[in-house]
Homo-oligomer: A and B are copies of this chain.
């Protein structure tokens, strides 16, 4: 079954790996969020693409939830000692990827081309494609003013309430090569358990991607990132409460109005009501097996 999964980092990456594990080689395409991308120490960093790539290649740190396992921080410490910025954590192994990608981008390669090269090099049959090669950056509007996503999320530790989420550059952003084709050829579309505002939202903010998904005849299933109305990690519950009025399955489903046919929720949120059918299961991916089982449930939910 050809599956396309829209994903942010961390939780989304875990489900992407679950799908990768249970599908046949080559059946999965993951479309990754680039709204969080940033330049730090002069390097282009794509945190969500990296989380997905590291999860798919089992290079990820399972406990930390981002970055690489067995990581060290010597280059960053050295850069800080020479006056470099240190607010965004970049590990030594992680930096190897950023260096190679940044060099390719400066040489004129597109983000999708270099991402394809990296996944091929890792021997992955699963395809990983950024939503767009054009600059598209998530901004949050808070009572203290607007911030770029990473400034708010990392530097300010997402302490500010969010009144609005903007996708700078979305109006002009075109889907990266391969994105629309993958969606059109998909037999199932999955929205991973990522933050609808700042992870899936920036992907859907590319008009052609949203329109192609909406026009697709196949089923589209979202997995709720909430458990018992709370975010596993991050500020989503506060964002949903403030911007949508609550954290029930209906509030999550509303984020994807007109796009999804079913919502997978955790047992802790059942019974629930929503404008689409609910599928109840265990969604906390504590390990790779649970992620696999969740992926199987998502696939079965469509049959």
In the bound complex, CA of A78 to CA of B74 (Å): 14
Q: Which residues of B contact A208 (CB under 8 A)?
A: none
Asked if A173 lies at the interface with its beta carbon under 8 angstroms from chain B, I say no
Q: Which residue of chain B lies nearest to A105 when distances are taken between CB atoms in the complex?
A: B42
Q: Which residues of B contact A42 (CB under 8 A)?
A: 99, 102-103, 106
Q: Which residues of B contact A101 (CB under 8 A)?
A: 82
Q: Which residue of chain B lies nearest to A107 when distances are taken between CB atoms in the complex?
A: B42
In the bound complex, CA of A42 to CA of B76 (Å): 17
Q: Which residues of B contact A82 (CB under 8 A)?
A: 96-97, 100-101, 118, 121
Whether B97 pairs with A95 at a CB distance below 8 angstroms is no
Asked if A84 lies at the interface with its beta carbon under 8 angstroms from chain B, I say yes
Please provide the chain A residues from 137 to 168 with a CB less than 8 Å away from any CB of chain B in the complex: none
Q: How many copies does the complex hold?
A: 2
What does the 1/0 interface line of A276-300 toward B look like (CB < 8 Å)?
0000000000000000000000000
Using known A-B contacts A72-B72, A117-B83, determine if residue A78 contacts B97 with beta carbons closer than 8 Å: yes
- Taking the closest CB of chain B, its distance from the CB of A37, in whole angstroms, is 17
Whether A43 pairs with B99 at a CB distance below 8 angstroms is yes
Q: Is the interface of A mostly helix, strand, loop or mixed?
A: helix
Please provide the chain A residues from 38 to 85 with a CB less than 8 Å away from any CB of chain B in the complex: 41-43, 72, 74-84
Asked if A93 lies at the interface with its beta carbon under 8 angstroms from chain B, I say yes
Whether B121 pairs with A92 at a CB distance below 8 angstroms is no
Out of B78, B80, B103, B118, name the residue touching A95 (CB < 8 Å): B78
In the bound complex, CA of A84 to CA of B95 (Å): 11
Q: Which residues of B contact A94 (CB under 8 A)?
A: 78
Q: List 23 A-B contacts (CB under 8 A).
A: A42-B103, A43-B99, A72-B74, A74-B92, A74-B96, A75-B92, A75-B93, A77-B96, A78-B92, A78-B93, A78-B95, A78-B97, A79-B96, A79-B100, A82-B96, A82-B97, A82-B118, A82-B121, A83-B100, A83-B118, A84-B96, A84-B99, A84-B103
